[in-house]
Amino acid sequence: MSTEDEEDKTETACRICGYDVGEPVFNEYGVPQYVICPCCYNESGIGDDNVSQVRELRGYWVATGAPWHEPKLRPANWDLLEQLANIPPQWC
Binding footprint of Zn ion on the chain (CB under 5 A) = 14, 16-17, 19, 37, 39-40, 42
CB of 41 to Zn ion, least distance (A): 7
Indicate the residue among 39 and 54 with the shorter CB distance to Zn ion.
Answer: 39
Beta carbons within 8 Å of 25's beta carbon, 6+ residues apart = 11, 12, 13, 14, 15, 32, 33, 35, 37, 44
Dist CA 39 CA 87 (whole Å): 13
CB of 40 to Zn ion, least distance (A): 3
CB of 29 to Zn ion, least distance (A): 21
